[in-house]
Amino acid sequence: MQGSSAIVLDHVTKRFSSPAGDVYTAVEDVQLAVSQGRFVAVVGPSGCGKSTLLNLAAGLLSPSEGSIAVHGEPLVGLNEKAAYLFQQDALLPWKTVLDNVALGLLLRRWRRRPARDLARHWLDRIGLGPFADHFPRQLSGGMRKRVAIAQSWILDPEILLMDEPFSALDVHTRQIMENELLALWGESRQTVLFVTHNLDEAIGLADEVVLLSSGPRSRVVGTYPVDLPRPRDVMEVRTEPHFVELYRTIWADLREEVMRSHASASA
């Protein structure tokens, strides 16, 4: 099962216990293999454990049952081969844009000058060179997200874990950021595991869409190859007949899980 897989979740279950002794099973018996260099998007109803799955792959959580491997090696502790891009950016408000981008390199004991030089290169690459000395509060939401992406990409991670990174952006900025992400990924082809509520976004970005069932005890109930040609423009690809066909196929299954989740919440 592992082969050329960058991430393998093998029969993974994750349970959480409350102070009162109650046990909640977020995901159960999940089997998922993410091939090296692939862009895989995970979708499912709210509360189905998508972020839990990402946190397991990051090593922020340990499985209650099953095992996780990264490039064929058991994952113990934090996944040091991965960078994690959260829904809310983790920029430090008291540091400039330049220092925020350079921070990861400095934590890896790079000398200050080469770290800042590489950070300037990345800011130029994402079109924010003139804003190097600004603070995060002085940037728009889309600009802050660009900084967060540069902050992750500068570390040259083998794996990118992304938890709804564009959900807070307006639709036009979101589409621009999606295209910028694809342009960066197209150059490096790191392995990406991307969580989103947005099925349009999942199909527009990914090589494969993975569908989780409604929770609790969420599991993988479908995997769908996305054979749309690359490079893609996410603003144009949505009008292609095959995109619509893929959307209808996946939505038919996703809608069933959404309705099941709604019925469970209303019971």
The span from the CA of 136 to the CA of 100, in Å, is: 9
User: pLDDT at residue 113 above 50?
Assistant: yes
User: pLDDT at residue 129 above 50?
Assistant: yes
User: pLDDT at residue 220 above 50?
Assistant: yes
Nearest CA to 249 among 230, 228, 220, 222? 222
Cα–chain center distance at 19 = 30
Tracing tokens 């899980």 back to the chain, one arrives at: 257
Q: What are the start-end ranges of the E strands in the chain?
A: 5-17, 23-35, 39-43, 65-70, 73-74, 82-85, 159-163, 191-195, 208-212, 220-225
User: pLDDT at residue 204 above 70?
Assistant: yes
Longest dimension (CA), the chain: 59
Which domains does the chain carry? 5-81+159-266 (3.40.50.300), 88-156 (no CATH)
User: pLDDT at residue 19 above 90?
Assistant: no
Nearest CA to 153 among 174, 135, 180? 180
The single-letter code of the amino acid at 203 is I
CB 256 within 8 A of CB 263: no
Give the tens place of pLDDT for each residue, 160-172: 999 998 888 888 8
Give the pLDDT band of residue 267 (cuts 50, 70, 90).
low
Give the tens place of pLDDT for each residue, 66-106: 999 999 999 999 999 999 988 777 899 999 999 999 999 99
SS3 content of the chain, % helix, strand, coil (to 5): 40, 25, 35
Which residues 6+ apart lie within 8 Å of 10 measured at CB?
1, 31, 66, 67, 68, 69
Question: What is residue 78's three-state secondary structure?
Answer: coil
Give the pLDDT band of residue 208 (cuts 50, 70, 90).
very high
As a whole-number percent, the residues of the chain with pLDDT over 90 amount to: 73
Burial of 146 (0-12, 13-18, 19+ CB in 10 A): buried
Output the pTM of the full model. Answer: 0.91
- Per-residue DSSP letter, 130: G
Give the tens place of pLDDT for each residue, 228-237: 999 999 989 9
The span from the CA of 117 to the CA of 42, in Å, is: 35
Give the pLDDT band of residue 3 (cuts 50, 70, 90).
very low
Give the tens place of pLDDT for each residue, 170-179: 888 888 889 9
